Amino acid sequence: MAEKLIFYILAVITLWASVMVITRKNPVHSVLFLVLAFVTSAGLWVLLEAEFLGIVLILVYVGAVMVLFLFVVMMLDIDLATIRAGFVQNLPLAGLIAAIMAVEILLIVGPGNFGLDAFPKPEPLGAEVSNTRELGLLLYSVYIYPVEIAAVILLLAIVAAIRLTLRRRPDTKFIDPAQQVRVRKGPDRVRLVKMAAEDVAPVVDKGDAQ
Closer residue to other proteins (CB): 120 or 202: 120
Choosing from 59, 91, 107, 108, the residue that interacts with other proteins (CB under 8 A) is 59
Cβ(43)–Cβ(12) below 8 Å: no
Among 11, 24, 44, 131, binds other proteins (CB under 8 A): 131
Site string for other proteins, 78-117 (x = CB under 8 A): ----------------------------------------
Can you tell me the distance from the alpha carbon of 17 to that of 19, in angstroms, rounded to the nearest whole number?
Answer: 5
Distance (Å, whole) CA 130 – CA 136 = 10
Query: Per-residue contact track with other proteins, 136 to 175, x per CB under 8 A?
Result: xx-xxx--x--xx-xxx-xx-xxx-xx--xxx----x-x-
Number of residues that bind other proteins (CB under 8 A): 69
Please tell me the total number of residues recorded for the chain in this structure. 210
d(CA 30, CA 36): 10
How far apart, in whole angstroms, are the C-alpha atoms of residue 151 and residue 159? 13
Binding residues for other proteins restricted to 16-45, rule: CB under 8 A: 26, 28-29, 32, 35, 43
Q: Cβ contacts of residue 54 below 8 Å, gap of 6+?
A: 42, 43, 44, 45, 46
- Three-state secondary-structure class, residue 12: helix
Output DSSP code: residue 65.
Answer: I
Q: Which residues make up the interface to other proteins (CB under 8 A)? A: 2-3, 6, 26, 28-29, 32, 35, 43, 46-47, 49, 51-52, 55-56, 58-60, 62-65, 67-68, 70-72, 74-77, 124-133, 135-137, 139-141, 144, 147-148, 150-152, 154-155, 157-159, 161-162, 165-167, 172, 174, 176-178
